[in-house]
Structure 1
């Protein structure tokens, strides 16, 4: 295959979206089946707002064990020990979604002795926190070429420290790990001509229609 500079991709635009994971109590989430338009949140999902200039880091990983035998000095096979799919991002906005994700708890209105709301809100940090499942979507695009990564089930696995400073805004650094969902970790949708079917890449301002690729991230 000849080198093709037109196949080099950047991600100048994008978004991070979340919803309750399908199957959790009260959840009506329907996983996206299309690549979207590169602007709007998938139906039923909410945007997590601005992400810092480092963008979003997506890391698929497979850990293997070598199978060694007497007759060979090198492994003859590798066996899959574990698989993972991780999304890391630093969120810039203070809103209900970002703060509840970071602190792992829910906001409730503060009420006075008469049961009237006071205009303040409280978030209790439990000494025995419960982990909640979420569904995550990462969108990114370059002009009319769109990509969407969908993680049906995930949990926040790590949180960075928040620094409150005079000259720099507070940030929420989150690491989110995929959970098994019917034998897969997630899937990717695109209207890019990754299969080389001869379909011209969409142009900026186009509808974003085109072939979609749905790749399982784990067998």
Structure 2
């Protein structure tokens, strides 16, 4: 097969969508959908910093050695993982609740008939309850669209928030896939990369 510079891909546009799995049932998308439209039941996480999104499929293996060979005769998979890492730039209800791992609740007045004060509070538990979620990452280059879907996931790591006079606040999250009927997730594309398609 000859080298083809037209097959070099970038990801100049994209979006991340999330759905919490604790409420009404969410059906992970099985189609590419349309650009800039969240899948049904999902919410957009907004701007991501210029580093983009990092998708990391990984496996760990253990060599199986045999008396008759100085090299392993095969490798056995001991673990598999798939994670998505991104630094979110928008400060909104969804991104802050994901980052802090809690929900905003309006503070009520102490009157005989309490009313909302317009102030919201987010309680950080000493024993956090990690919520299960579903994640969709879309990216495209022109008409070539790609979608990565993780039906079940949890936030496995959070970065620090840097409060700075000259740089906006950012929420760094690593979201790791959980087993979903024997799968970590799937990728959809309309790219003509499959021979014979």
Tell me the TM-score normalised to structure 1 length. Answer: 0.87
Could you say which residue in structure 2 is the equivalent of 1:206? none
Query: Displacement of 1:40 after TM fit?
Result: 0.9
Could you say which residue in structure 1 is the equivalent of 2:24? 27
Could you say which residue in structure 2 is the equivalent of 1:107? 104
Unaligned runs of 5+ in 2: none
Given the alignment of the two structures, is residue 153 of structure 1 paired with residue 160 of structure 2, yes or no? Answer: no
Query: Displacement of 1:33 after TM fit?
Result: 1.2
Q: Could you say what the CA RMSD is over the residues aligned between the two structures, in angstroms?
A: 0.9
Could you say which residue in structure 1 is the equivalent of 2:17? 17
Partners of 2:142 and 2:106 lie apart in 1 by: 42
Partners of 1:155 and 1:46 lie apart in 2 by: 16
Could you say which residue in structure 2 is the equivalent of 1:138? 137
Could you say which residue in structure 2 is the equivalent of 1:117? 116
> What secondary structure does 2:51 align onto?
coil
Could you say which residue in structure 2 is the equivalent of 1:178? 177
User: Map of 1:1-219 to 2, 5 A cutoff?
Assistant: 1-21=1-21, 24=22, 26-114=23-111, 115-197=114-196
Query: Displacement of 1:28 after TM fit?
Result: 2.2
Query: Displacement of 1:77 after TM fit?
Result: 0.5
The 10-residue stretch of structure 1 (128-137 or 28-37) with the greater mean CA deviation from structure 2: 28-37
Unaligned runs of 5+ in 1: 199-219
**Residues paired across the two proteins, number:** 195
Q: Which runs of 4+ in 1 moved over 6 A?
A: none
Query: Displacement of 1:75 after TM fit?
Result: 0.3
1:125-151 deviation per Cα after TM superposition (whole angstroms, max 9, x unaligned): 001111100000000000010000000
Partners of 2:37 and 2:3 lie apart in 1 by: 34
Query: Displacement of 1:52 after TM fit?
Result: 0.1
Tell me the TM-score normalised to structure 2 length. Answer: 0.96
Query: Displacement of 1:71 after TM fit?
Result: 1.1
Partners of 1:98 and 1:2 lie apart in 2 by: 45
